[in-house]
């Protein structure tokens, strides 16, 4: 009976990851609507994604450290409660600055939530199922790409986009009540000094592996953040067609995230990461030519989704294998830097479409993913050396 309750709690924690992911990514699908209503350019509206990613990184790293000594259940509940408030602010925001503020509130609380929730899942699961429990929470975040974003984008074609955030807030209220009643209490941890955490970065394998994270997600976000205006211009997609395209991308992203776990077990992180990044690069270059065709767009997005998200579990496995005794710290840095990469991707994408035609966006993004491939190949090379010195 206890195992069933624990499994249900893990599902609830994954639902929390789902709503935070939906709130983060749905803006990509409704960017043009926000731009038009709030009277700002597409590139300026895209900074809503930039600020979210930066704030998420702060929540995932700084707030996690600052709250580490407090009761984890209270931290979890306060994080999700603050996330609800952020969505309500977004609902009533008819000013760009207020909407930007709502993104900061949502992101910092969401970043704190995802790290605490993932750790919670590991704590309440049996030892042999801890990896699976953590993966379930992360999968909730991935499913937001499959369902949350396309559904939100589709609804925006029929309702005022503000109501998307009201729906997220109301749905999260029920989740908050369920978590309050069911989640067991877990005490805080003794905080690890930040200077001690930074020692891990002295290992060049870890440093280059984490740098890979920045450039990989930068290239992905550069296109994903502006996918709606891109497909509107090149393929003539309506907002309904864009929602279908996002559903295709999200569905294959989910497949990629599950396949990545299987692939790293079967072929190891070296081949899995190298091949998935290579396909990612090729797909972004190919999109430059297929973005004018409806069929071409759907096929390219499907391959892009699989390639991009196959990398995620394989790279996390690789980073943890480098420092198994500091797994939580390494993953915390990886989560924070992933959002730094998202921030840079949406910011650079906005600058590019401000001064260049948006049709060039995908091949430029491919250059950044190619940079990620160079860094991971160097990291893997260092790992394969027989007597690697960690420098500390």
The tens digit of pLDDT for each residue in 15-40 reads: 999 999 899 888 888 888 899 999 99
- 10 Å CB burial of residue 193 (0-12, 13-18, 19+) is exposed
Nearest-angstrom CA–CA distance, 268 and 314 = 8
Give Cβ neighbours of residue 297 (< 8 Å, ≥ 6 apart): 231, 235, 237, 245, 287, 290, 291
Q: How confident is the model at residue 259 (pLDDT cuts 50, 70, 90)?
A: confident
- Amino acid 190: pLDDT: 59
The tens digit of pLDDT for each residue in 138-150 reads: 778 778 877 787 8
- Average pLDDT of the segment spanning 62-84: 88
Q: Which bin fits 30, alpha (ψ -120 to 50), beta or left (φ > 0)?
A: alpha
The tens digit of pLDDT for each residue in 209-219 reads: 999 999 999 99
- Amino acid 135: pLDDT: 67
Q: How confident is the model at residue 389 (pLDDT cuts 50, 70, 90)?
A: very low
The tens digit of pLDDT for each residue in 340-363 reads: 888 899 889 989 998 999 999 999
- Average pLDDT of the segment spanning 314-334: 78
In this model, does residue 392 exceed pLDDT 50?
no
Q: How confident is the model at residue 231 (pLDDT cuts 50, 70, 90)?
A: very high
Report the range out of 46-50, 67-71, 355-359 with the highest average pLDDT: 355-359
- Amino acid 291: pLDDT: 94
- Average pLDDT of the segment spanning 331-343: 82
- Amino acid 107: pLDDT: 92
- Whole-prediction pTM: 0.77
- Amino acid 367: pLDDT: 97
In this model, does residue 1 exceed pLDDT 90?
no
Q: How confident is the model at residue 282 (pLDDT cuts 50, 70, 90)?
A: very high
Q: Are 224 and 28 in contact (CB under 8 A)?
A: yes
Q: Are 149 and 224 in contact (CB under 8 A)?
A: no
- What are the chain's domains? 1-191 (1.20.1250.20), 192-392 (1.20.1250.20)
- Amino acid 203: pLDDT: 86
Q: Mean pLDDT over all residues of the chain? A: 86
- Average pLDDT of the segment spanning 66-72: 81
Neighbours of 189 (CB within 10 A): 12
- Average pLDDT of the segment spanning 91-99: 93
The tens digit of pLDDT for each residue in 174-203 reads: 999 999 998 888 766 555 566 666 677 788
């Amino acid at each position: 009976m206890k195992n069933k309750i624990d499994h249900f709690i893990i599902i609830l924690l994954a639902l929390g990851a789902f709503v935070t992911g939906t709130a983060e990514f749905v803006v990509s699908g409704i960017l043009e609507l926000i731009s038009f209503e709030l009277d700002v350019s597409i590139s300026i509206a895209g900074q809503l994604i930039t600020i979210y990613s930066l704030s998420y990184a702060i929540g995932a790293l700084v707030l996690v450290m600052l709250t580490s000594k407090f009761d984890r259940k209270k931290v979890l509940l306060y994080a999700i409660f603050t996330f609800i408030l952020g969505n309500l602010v977004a609902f009533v925001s008819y000013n760009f600055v207020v909407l930007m503020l709502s993104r900061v509130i949502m992101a910092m609380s969401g970043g704190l939530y995802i790290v605490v929730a993932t750790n919670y899942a590991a704590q309440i699961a049996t030892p042999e199922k801890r990896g699976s429990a953590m993966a379930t929470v992360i999968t909730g975040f991935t499913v937001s790409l499959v369902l949350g974003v396309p559904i939100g984008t589709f609804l925006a074609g029929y309702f005022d986009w503000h109501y998307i955030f009201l729906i997220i807030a109301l749905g999260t209220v029920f989740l908050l009540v369920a978590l309050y009643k069911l989640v067991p209490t877990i005490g805080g941890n003794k905080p690890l000094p930040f200077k001690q955490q930074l020692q891990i970065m002295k290992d060049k394998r870890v440093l280059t592996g984490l740098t890979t994270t920045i450039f990989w997600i930068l290239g992905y976000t550069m296109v994903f953040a502006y996918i709606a205006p891109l497909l509107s211009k090149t393929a003539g997609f309506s907002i309904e067609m864009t929602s279908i395209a996002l559903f295709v991308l999200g569905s294959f992203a989910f497949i990629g995230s599950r396949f990545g776990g299987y692939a790293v077990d079967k072929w190891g992180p070296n081949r899995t990461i190298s091949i998935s990044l290579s396909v990612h690069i090729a797909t972004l270059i190919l999109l430059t030519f297929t973005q004018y065709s409806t069929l071409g767009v759907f096929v390219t997005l499907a391959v892009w989704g699989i390639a991009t998200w196959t990398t995620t579990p394989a790279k996390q496995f690789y980073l943890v294998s480098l420092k198994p005794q500091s797994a939580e710290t390494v993953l915390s840095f990886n989560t924070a830097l992933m959002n730094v990469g998202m921030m840079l991707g949406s910011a650079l994408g906005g600058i590019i479409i401000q001064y260049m035609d948006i049709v060039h966006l995908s091949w430029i993004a491919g250059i950044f993913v190619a940079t990620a491939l160079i860094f991971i190949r160097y990291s893997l090379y260092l790992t394969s050396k027989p007597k690697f010195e960690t420098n500390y």
